[in-house]
Amino acid sequence: MALKTERPGRRVKKAPFRFFDLPTLDLDPMNSRVIAPLLHPFLASHRMHDEAAPVFYSQNTFRVLPIHGRFFHTERPLIARLPEHYRSYITKMELYLGLGWTGPPVEWIISDRLGLSACTKLRTLKVYVRFDPSSHPSFEEFQVTPEFYTDFSVGLVRDFFAQAPSLTGVELDGEPELQMSSPILQGVINEAKVQNKRITWGPKGQWDRPLAPDLVKLMQLLSLGSSHIQRRTVASLA
C-alpha cells in the first residue's frame, strides 16, 4: 500500500509591526485593551527595550496635564508617573488649554512633582488653545473675572518654563475659530518672548477668521446649568 504524503501547509506571511504608527499619548480607558498589546515589543528582550524606548519617547508628543474626563482631576499625571529614565528621552510635550474654563481643576499645577527637570532632552512645548472665553464678551458673566482664565493659562506656561530649563521653543496652535487677538494666545506669546523661546505655529489654527456665532451659542449653552452638565461637557470635549 502506498503511503500518502501530506503537502506542507502554505506559510502565511506576517505583516511587519508598524512601530512608528503607534499613537501619541492618549489616556483613554480603552488603552489597556487596544494600545497596550502594541507595546509588547518592549518586552521581547532587554536589548529590544533599550533600543526601542529612546525612539518611542523621543518621537511622540506627551501631554503635560490630562484632558480625558476620567483623568481630568487626577493628582498624578502620566508624566509624573513615568520613571525618570523615560522622561529623559522626551523631546516634545503638549499643554492643552480651554477645558474647564469656569473652574479649572485644582490638580492642574505645574511644579517639581511632575519631574520636568529630568526631561533633559525636552525642546518643544506645544500649546494648543481649544477655547478662549475672554475672546468674546458673551462669556464674561460666566467667568470668575474677565482675566481669570487668561492669567491661569499663562501662569501654567510660565511655571512650565521655570520647571523645564532645557526647553528652547513653543509651538502655538488652536481651533480654526481662535483669533490672533485671543488674550490667552497673546499672553503665551508675550511670555515666550520674555523667556527668549523660539515661537512657531501649528497647522490647525486659522488666525484671520472671526469667532463663529454658532460656537458662541454652543459655549453659552454648555456654560449654563448644573455642575453635572459641566462635567459631561469636559468629558465629551476631552
Per-residue three-class SS string for the chain: CCCCCCCCCCCCCCCCCCHHHCCCCCCCCCHHHHCHHHHHHHHCCHHHHHHHHHHHHHHCEEECCCCCCCCCCCCCCHHHHCCHHHHCCCCEEEEEECCCCCCCCCCCCCCHHHCHHHCCCCCEEEEEECCCHHHCHHHHHHCCCCCHHHHHHHHHHHHHHHHCCCCCEEEEEECCCCCCCCHHHHHHHHHHHHCCCEEEECCCCCCCCCCCHHHHHHHHHHHCCCHHHHHHHHHHHC
15 in any annotated domain:
no
Task: Write out the residue range of the structural domain in which residue 108 sits.
Answer: 44-237
30 in any annotated domain:
no
153 in any annotated domain:
yes
Q: Could you give the number of structural domains in the chain?
A: 1
The pLDDT of residue 221 is above 80: no
7 in any annotated domain:
no
The pLDDT of residue 7 is above 70: no
59 in any annotated domain:
yes
- Predicted confidence at residue 70, as pLDDT, reads 75
116 in any annotated domain:
yes
14 in any annotated domain:
no
Across 81-89, average pLDDT: 93
- Predicted confidence at residue 214, as pLDDT, reads 59
Q: What are 113-159's pLDDT values in tens digits? A: 999 999 999 999 999 998 888 877 667 667 667 788 899 999 999 99
138 in any annotated domain:
yes
